[in-house]
Structure formats: C-alpha cells, structure tokens
C-alpha cells in the first residue's frame, strides 16, 4: 500500500488507449495531427488563445518556461522550498544559462506579494546585483496548498507592475483546480500567469506534460529551445495523445478529484496531526518514529519528512488518481487508531 508519491503511479487506461490509437503512420516530431490539435484544445480549455507544447518532464517544462521569461543575467523569484530550487538538480541553472533563483518565504510554500517584495525590494538597481526578471509559483505547492484566484491575481498584479514574467509550476495543477472548483483560466491567464506547466504525469499520464503559453509568441522561441534541449521527440504523437486524452474529456479533473478525495479521507483521520490543511493530494502529518513504524508494520509505505520544531516526527502521504479506496480507508483507520 504505497503512499510515497504520485509521480510513479501507473498510466490511466484512457491514456493507454489514446497512445495505441496514435500508433499509425504520421509525420515526425510535432508535425503530426495530434500535436497539431494541442493549441486548439488548450485554447478551448482556457477560453483564450494559447500555444501549447508537449514536453516529457516537469523539470524540462518548468525550465523551458523560466528561460523564456528570464535572461541569463536575471533572477527568478521562487519559494525557498520550491521544487525548482530544491529538487531539480540545478536544471534551472542549466536551461537559463545561470540565471539566479531569488528565494522568498511564505507559509505552506506559498508566495505572497509581501514575501516577494521582501525579496526583491532590497535588491539595489545596479549591475552588481542580479535583477528579478520573473516569478515562479507552484500550484498546488510542495505542501499541497492551493493558491486561490485572488491570491494568484495579487501576485500577477505585482508581476505586471514590476515587469516580471509569471510562471506557474502546475505539476499538480489539476488537483488545485479540482479543489478550487473554478475554471482553469481563473487561476492562470485571468490572474496574470504568462506560462503554465500543465502537469499530466502525476495525474495518470506516462511521460508528457504540457507547456501552455498565454502569449503564443513566447512559444515560438521555446520551440527552438525545446529542440536544443533534446526534448523534441521524433514520435511526438505519442506525447500529444497523452495530453489530449487528459484534457479533451475531462480526465484531468476526474483523476485529480479521485486523488484529492483520497487525501481528504486520510487528512480527516489525521485531525490535529496535520501540518498543513489538505487541499490537494498530499498530507503532511505529525507522526512519531514509533507511529511511523507501526504504520509501516501494517504495510503502509511512505516517506518520513523533516519534523517541525517540537514535533516528534512527521511524514508525507501522497495519493494518486489510482489510490485504492480500500488502502486509503485502511490507512485512515490505522492513523485514527494510533
């Protein structure tokens, strides 16, 4: 009974079907009929003209986006615990040719206009200090917290005022939208986001994310940079198929709702153990080493997590689109019984 992460969960049957359906002769790279449908499909989803590219990984999608928004001599504001800072092996430095991540604070790994300003306002406007070019936020965050449309819009307004690009790392974008119940546009393009990493892999895909540009001109540059980064696959139709399967019939939200519901069940059982409100598909809870051992002994697998001061220990429990309801219920019961 695995609650390690959503990033290795299997592939959804409808995604498999779409990939099999793509297994017929077509043009190479992104010249095929499926890739050609991406712009339109995302434009429909967001109710505005978009350009969308498939990319195999979230790391590549995020970093291509950052490189499109920040010049090599610039900086990108992100949370101190953002994935791009902590867990992408220095990929932002590679793709941006050495642009600097400017770290900001915020509860639950959420930035706010205030914390962003606390990072960028002290920067002297001279050539000795790296100037901010962009902001990157994660939706849902690394702690499973969700930005509301209003919160994103406040950051978007700051970005506009300071002429900073705004990127959203949406590795778990579906979970966030499922939680919010709003349109996908409301927390992105309508709130000032320029580029969105639209995650599919954690949500039932195999190896295709979508990079969605609300300014299509940006995408034209990124097409060159995607190739240059070795990310233009020759049989792109299998990636386009995955992405389209996710968005064209609402599978992305279905899957996210399932994962969120599972997390909610577990979160409820955690009660006061919770370190963060459960808004997406991740649960962070105080669990002492003994309690963790007890759960492990019952067959539940998960990562421990650095405990906050004063707590005896903590763990991260992640659900996925295919979390077995029986396993979830069992885990909830086991935690409640601790």
Per CB under 8 A, which of residues 67..96 are in contact with its own copies? 71-75, 86-96
Nearer to its own copies, 10 or 277 (CB): 10
- Cβ pair 158, 189 in contact under 8 A: no
Calpha distance 48→190 (Å, rounded): 10
Among 202, 257, 273, 316, binds its own copies (CB under 8 A): 202
Work out how close the CB of 18 gets to its own copies at its nearest, in angstroms, rounded to a whole number: 13
Judged by CB under 8 A, which stretch of 98-106, 211-219, 248-256, 257-265 contacts its own copies? 98-106
Binding-site string for its own copies from residue 260 to residue 279, where x marks contact by CB under 8 A and - marks none: --------------------
DSSP letter assigned to residue 203: G
Binding-site string for its own copies from residue 125 to residue 164, where x marks contact by CB under 8 A and - marks none: --xxxxx---------------------------------
Calpha distance 210→242 (Å, rounded): 10
Q: Does 8 interact with its own copies (rule: CB under 8 A)?
A: yes
Calpha distance 40→323 (Å, rounded): 32
Among 48, 118, 216, 235, binds its own copies (CB under 8 A): 235
Among 21, 47, 107, 228, binds its own copies (CB under 8 A): 228
Euclidean distance between the first and final Cα of the chain, in Å? 18
Q: How many separate helices (H) and strands (E) can be counted in the chain?
A: 13, 10
H/E segment holding residue 270 = helix 251-270
Assigned token pair, 312: 């005896």
Assigned token pair, 71: 């010049």
Nearer to its own copies, 24 or 163 (CB): 24
Among 233, 255, 265, 292, binds its own copies (CB under 8 A): 233
Among 14, 36, 56, 157, binds its own copies (CB under 8 A): 56
Work out how close the CB of 170 gets to its own copies at its nearest, in angstroms, rounded to a whole number: 15
Q: What share of the chain is helix, strand, coil (3-state, %, to 5)?
A: 45, 15, 40
Q: Does 305 interact with its own copies (rule: CB under 8 A)?
A: no
Binding-site string for its own copies from residue 9 to residue 38, where x marks contact by CB under 8 A and - marks none: xxx----x---x--xxxxxxx--x------
- Cβ pair 22, 237 in contact under 8 A: yes
- Cβ pair 136, 169 in contact under 8 A: yes
Work out how close the CB of 55 gets to its own copies at its nearest, in angstroms, rounded to a whole number: 8
- Cβ pair 266, 282 in contact under 8 A: no
Q: Does 325 interact with its own copies (rule: CB under 8 A)?
A: no
């Amino acid at each position: 009974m695995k609650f390690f992460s959503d990033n290795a969960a299997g592939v959804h049957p409808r995604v498999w079907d779409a990939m099999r359906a793509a297994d017929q002769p077509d043009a190479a790279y992104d010249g095929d009929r499926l890739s050609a449908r991406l712009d339109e499909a995302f434009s429909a989803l967001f109710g505005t003209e978009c350009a969308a590219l498939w990319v195999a990984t979230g790391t590549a999608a995020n970093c291509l986006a950052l490189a499109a928004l920040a010049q090599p001599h610039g900086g990108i504001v992100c949370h101190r615990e953002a994935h791009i800072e902590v867990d992408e092996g220095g990929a932002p430095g590679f793709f941006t040719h050495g642009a600097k991540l400017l770290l900001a604070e915020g509860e639950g790994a959420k930035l706010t206009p205030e914390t962003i300003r606390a990072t960028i306002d002290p920067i002297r406007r001279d050539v000795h200090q790296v100037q901010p070019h962009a902001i990157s936020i994660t939706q849902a965050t690394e702690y499973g917290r969700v930005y509301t449309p209003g919160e994103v819009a406040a950051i978007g307004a700051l970005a506009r005022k300071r002429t900073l690009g705004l990127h959203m790392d949406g590795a778990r974008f579906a979970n966030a939208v499922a939680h919010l119940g709003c349109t996908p546009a409301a927390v992105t393009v309508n709130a000032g986001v320029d580029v969105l990493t639209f995650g599919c892999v954690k949500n039932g895909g195999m190896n295709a994310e979508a990079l969605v540009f609300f300014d299509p001109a940006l995408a034209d540059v990124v097409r060159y940079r995607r190739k240059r980064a070795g990310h233009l696959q020759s049989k792109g139709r299998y990636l386009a198929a995955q992405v389209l399967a996710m968005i064209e019939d609402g599978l992305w939200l279905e899957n996210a709702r399932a994962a969120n519901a599972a997390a909610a069940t577990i979160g409820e059982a955690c009660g006061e153990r919770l370190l963060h409100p459960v808004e997406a598909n991740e649960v962070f809870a105080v669990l002492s080493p003994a309690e963790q051992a007890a759960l492990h002994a019952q067959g539940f697998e998960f990562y421990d997590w650095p405990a906050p001061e004063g707590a005896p220990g903590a763990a991260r429990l992640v659900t996925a689109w295919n979390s077995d309801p029986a396993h979830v219920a069992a885990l909830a019961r086991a935690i409640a019984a601790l």
